[in-house]
Structure 1
Amino acid sequence: MSKLKVLNYTFQNLSQKNMSFEQVFQHIMQFMRNDPNGNYRLMFGTDSQVHSYYTRFITGIVIQREKKGVWACIRKTVVPRKMTNLHERISYETTLTEEVVSMFSDERKNQLIDIVLPNIYKGASLAIEGHIDIGSGNRNKTSIFVNEMVARMESLGVEPKIKPDSFVASSYANRYTK
């Protein structure tokens, strides 16, 4: 069995700073173990904000037990320049999401699935989603990138979500980019 290298990222939320990926994964496992009959959505998404001399990217990880709460955290990335090219920025947002998704190896995904698996006949479920901060509407400047970014999420085996359904990127992560 090959061991995937887990990138040395740190994550944070309102109650904890400097969490390792392993700590994040353990929080998600514990959240799911608290109710193994739940309907879970493990969601990832990145948003960015161009500032005067840098561009801030925030990647969110959210585990939601439908109608029964969430646990979430973020990872900050700063690029020391203004990234004004929209395609470059959207592509980098997707890359940062892909990096975090890839930390959830098949082995780790199976650990999460094993929590709900004994209860699927009672309605338990787990969906894994990649939220992309783009929309397909005619007036949306990012609509020309939808097919490309959706294909990238699908290639990772996660269900792509775009606006208005990509709230981890467009709401949760967005809040921390300012």
Structure 2
Amino acid sequence: MEPMLFQNLSHPQMDFEEVFAHITSFMKEEPLGRYKLMLGTDSQIHSDHTLFITGIVIHRVGKGAWACYHKEIVPRAMKVLHERISYETSLTVDVASYFTKEKIDQLIEIVLPHIYQNASFTIEGHIDIGAGERNRTRAYVNEMVARIESLGFEPKIKPESITASSYANKYTK
């Protein structure tokens, strides 16, 4: 299996170890921060392919963020909504699998000495679906949320799923 590669505006090609080094470095700059590690995927159907973007965002609440994304192209237009939403969630789960217990423990260790000064660390899985009455994806909310919860991550749907519906979405166009 090919290693998953990530990119952002400053770094056109990073493997996961480089991504993780950037995340730890960002957190170590301010270990008293309140951090949210947010993962999420969005897609865009094009005439002959479907583009999927999976974002990784480490957000220091109120004080900036560092982010990158993985791009995947499926060589056909995936027009069945459930298939596309399910594939988006699968890609988020794939990226989440790189955050092993050991890696998560390393990130927690950065803020742990400072939790009594309001430092914190949470992990969220962002799903580009909504539960609203008029949202076509609402039928899949329970299924996709359960998949994210099974990882031990906090699931977020629209309008709170900003990594999927805003950051990743930006790179699908």
Residue 103 of structure 1 aligns to a residue in which SS? coil
1:88 to 72, 83, 94: 83
Matched, 1:175 2:158: no
Partners of 1:128 and 1:113 in 2: how far apart?
11
Point out 4+ residue stretches in structure 1 off by more than 6 angstroms: none
1:119 to 114, 139, 154: 114
Residue 56 of structure 2 aligns to a residue in which SS? strand
Matched, 1:58 2:53: yes
Partners of 2:132 and 2:60 in 1: how far apart?
30
Determine if contact 1:113/1:126 at 8 Å carries over to the other structure.
Answer: yes
Residue 19 of structure 2 aligns to a residue in which SS? helix
Partners of 1:150 and 1:10 in 2: how far apart?
26
5 Å-filtered alignment, 1:1-178, equals 8-178=3-173
Partners of 2:134 and 2:66 in 1: how far apart?
34
Note the alpha carbon deviations across 1:56-105, whole angstroms, 9 max, x for none.
Answer: 00000000001100000000000000000000000000000000011000
| Amino acid across the alignment from 1:31 | F
Partners of 1:95 and 1:17 in 2: how far apart?
24
> Structure 1 unaligned runs (5+)?
1-5
TM-score (norm 2): 0.99
Determine if contact 1:41/1:65 at 8 Å carries over to the other structure.
Answer: yes
Partners of 2:59 and 2:162 in 1: how far apart?
12
| Amino acid across the alignment from 2:59 | Q
| Amino acid across the alignment from 2:90 | T
Q: 1:18, CA displacement in angstroms?
A: 1.1
TM-score (norm 1): 0.96
Q: Percent identity?
A: 64
Determine if contact 1:7/1:103 at 8 Å carries over to the other structure.
Answer: no
